[in-house]
Amino acid sequence: MNSEIFDIGLGNNDTATREDAGRDYVAFWEKQARSLAWFEGWSEVLSWKPPFARWFVGGRINASYNALDVHQKDPERAAILWEGENGQRRKITYGQLFCDVQKFSNALKSSGVKKGDRVTIYLPMVPELIVAILSCARIGAIHTVIFSGFSASSIRDRVVDSNSKVVITADGGYRRGSIVKLKETVDAALEGLDFVQNVIVLRRTGNEITLGKRDVLWDDFVKNHPASCDAEPLPSEHPLYILYTSGTTGKPKGVLHDTGGYLTHIGSTFRWAFDIKDSDVYFCTADIGWVTGHSYVAYGPLICGATMVLYEGAPDYPSQSRMWDILQRYKVTIFYTTPTALRMFMKFGDSIPNSFDLSSIRLLGTVGEPINPEVWRWYYTVIGKGRCPIIDTWWQTETGGMMISPLPGLETIPLKPGSAALPIPGVDIAVVSEDGTELPPDTKGYLVIRKPWPGMLLTLWGDDEKYKSVYWSKYPGYYYTGDYAIKDKDGYFWLLGRADDILKVAGHRIGTAELESSIVSHHSISESAVCGVPDDVKGEVIIAFLVPKDGVAVTDGLRKEVIEHIRHDIGPIATPHQIYFVSKLPKTRSGKIMRRLLKAIASNEKIGDVSTLEDGAAVNEVQSAFDELKKQIK
């Protein structure tokens, strides 16, 4: 693979940790778990009844306790340096956060929320989102955060699936200067759902809202509640949260994470990856609606007592320099963002970041999609000035925390632009062929995880069978990641994108099946097939091939209607970049849509080696489908 190597690190050289992990991964993770505060120790480190793992069985712990109570020796220490999109600023100390969380926890309790109940959170990136999460964790309620860009029907599906008792939202949120009316969306989502007992509404934008019988304003909800609420000692395997994510089937799946194993994984990787020190100012740009925000905005930094910047809005609003302005003002030392954001910043030109003082930065990270080597080099030279290691962290909603990444807090290893480097200690990751045998170096194959790890999902909410079939049936005994990868001769991993029907648009996961079923719910469309094509900012964009119902005229109006329908049904992140209307979709004789052919056409590629293009289709069949489709496209 790429022979270009950057010998840069922070000078840490702890070889013992990796050696420890290599000897006995269970004992290794047990040692890491001891860095957390436990109410009771465990009787068994790992109960592994494939494919169900339970970590630290018998142990009792609380995530909110580990994020707050343990840091009260220094209550004045800043936990969150928050900046609103509208320029508003707030500093929230560990003492203040502790107080706010206890009040809110008491309020939740007195509204009838009990251990194990589900609470849906649909808020913009404001400190109250963290208060809500930590309050649920404190009393043992299971939070399910929904990204505030999702539509009413997406919220409804998730609230119904999780059977949430309470929904927490805001009047509105700022997005690129305008107000997104969140409460209105929640009202539409919850219509007729009587099992939702309360909707708590934070005042953020001050837009007009209607308060119904079950609605209560945040300030009224917490008023008169004492700022003292002991954290519930919960079993280690108690579910901390459900996070819905797109899969290869129609509906999003509820990934369920535990408490003790998850916190062990997040705490360890946060320290190893970011080398966090008391003097650091950490800034992760992820929204808490996604897993990066859960693990490395909400839980990781707080359980490590870090000071973080939290930013509410769009990275390029009101100007293209917004990010660098934030980095300069707060003297950010660790910056963790996405390749999509970096590609956008790079397009804006070097003179923008060059006009800011970014000398405080000492470590850079990326997550969520493959990073192109040229973007890596730009990040390294223009932002890091050749001084800062870049950690390219590979992981998934399901893995809970980082699985492959350079770990400058632990060791100094050479970096290769475009590679996420080595697996973290204590995990066993391999690249295998279709039949499950490990492939020799430099060969493309499927990425699998061969042993349980502490951050792994417990199951899919309410669906153990789906959990087994999605992750554990392709390679019995191995967790199937759904990613293609290559391991090079030095043991470095190169991630090559999804091998399944999941798209990654600007780093967001979108299931093709989910999107297709949304499209055909439009009254004018009879069939649809979507695919992703490369894009130089978003990594991948969506192209949709649609078959209109008989008698429906293909017009620009129809195109607009379909787009509006998708935005309304799923949310703006699923908007296709291009829609092609066709009279029929190319299918194999067995009725399977020829997806790779669609991708080839959408990318304007030649058909190439058609014999390998589609499973189970004859060469001439694919070729004629290709020719026919090209003629039809409107």
At closest approach, how far in Å is the CB of 481 from ligand PRX?
6
Residues 297 to 316 in contact with ligand PRX, rule: CB under 6 A: none
Stretch that binds ligand PRX, among 20-28, 168-176, 391-399, 459-467 (CB under 6 A): 391-399
Stretch that binds ligand PRX, among 200-208, 215-223, 366-374, 586-594 (CB under 6 A): 366-374
* Chain centroid, CA 595 distance in Å: 26
**Could you identify the residue written with the tokens 């589900």?**
118
538 binds ligand PRX (CB under 6 A): no
Q: How far is CA 600 from CA 326, 457, 548, in A?
A: 41, 35, 22
395 binds ligand PRX (CB under 6 A): yes
Length reported for the chain: 634
**Could you identify the residue written with the tokens 């500093």?**
91
369 binds ligand PRX (CB under 6 A): yes
Number of Cβ within 10 Å of residue 235's Cβ equals 19
Contact 472, 454 (CB under 8 A): no
Q: Which residues contact 612 (CB under 8 A, 6 or more apart)?
A: none
Q: How far apart are CA 145 and CA 389, in angstroms?
A: 32
Figure out which of the listed residues 218, 282, 330, 394 binds ligand PRX, where binding follows CB under 6 A: 394
Backbone φ and ψ for 152, nearest 5 degrees, come out as -60, -40
At closest approach, how far in Å is the CB of 330 from ligand PRX?
24
| Strand order, beta sheet including 578-581 | 525-535, 539-548, 578-581
Number of residues that bind ligand PRX (CB under 6 A): 21
Contact 383, 361 (CB under 8 A): yes
Number of Cβ within 10 Å of residue 359's Cβ equals 10
Figure out which of the listed residues 483, 516, 569, 614 binds ligand PRX, where binding follows CB under 6 A: 483
509 binds ligand PRX (CB under 6 A): yes
368 binds ligand PRX (CB under 6 A): yes
Peptide bond into 318 cis (omega under 30): yes
Residues 229 to 258 in contact with ligand PRX, rule: CB under 6 A: 245
Contact 546, 582 (CB under 8 A): yes
Figure out which of the listed residues 237, 392, 501, 516 binds ligand PRX, where binding follows CB under 6 A: 392
At closest approach, how far in Å is the CB of 370 from ligand PRX?
4
Residues 415 to 474 in contact with ligand PRX, rule: CB under 6 A: 420
- Which token pair is 610? 């058609």
- Which token pair is 264? 């062990």
498 binds ligand PRX (CB under 6 A): yes
Which residues are bridge partners to 485 per DSSP?
A: 445, 495
370 binds ligand PRX (CB under 6 A): yes
At closest approach, how far in Å is the CB of 439 from ligand PRX?
18
Figure out which of the listed residues 32, 259, 292, 528 binds ligand PRX, where binding follows CB under 6 A: 292
For 447, what's the count of Cα atoms within 13 Å in the CB-facing half-sphere?
Answer: 25
At closest approach, how far in Å is the CB of 368 from ligand PRX?
4
Figure out which of the listed residues 63, 141, 460, 495 binds ligand PRX, where binding follows CB under 6 A: 495
Stretch that binds ligand PRX, among 209-217, 304-312, 390-398, 580-588 (CB under 6 A): 390-398
559 binds ligand PRX (CB under 6 A): no
For 440, what's the count of Cα atoms within 13 Å in the CB-facing half-sphere?
Answer: 0
Which residues are bridge partners to 530 per DSSP?
A: 544
Residue 414 or 497: which CB sits closer to ligand PRX?
A: 497
367 binds ligand PRX (CB under 6 A): yes
Reduce the DSSP state of residue 205 to 3 states and report it: coil
Helices 512-520 and 556-569: crossing angle in degrees, nearest 10, is 120
At closest approach, how far in Å is the CB of 22 from ligand PRX?
23
Residue 232 or 369: which CB sits closer to ligand PRX?
A: 369
Reported in sequence order, the residue ranges of 68-109 that DSSP labels E, i.e. its strands, are: 78-83, 89-93
Residue 61 or 145: which CB sits closer to ligand PRX?
A: 145
397 binds ligand PRX (CB under 6 A): yes
396 binds ligand PRX (CB under 6 A): yes
Q: How far apart are CA 422 and CA 394, in angstroms?
A: 10
393 binds ligand PRX (CB under 6 A): yes
330 binds ligand PRX (CB under 6 A): no
543 binds ligand PRX (CB under 6 A): no
Summarize as ranges the residues that interact with ligand PRX (CB under 6 A).
245, 291-292, 367-370, 392-397, 420, 481-483, 495, 498, 504, 509
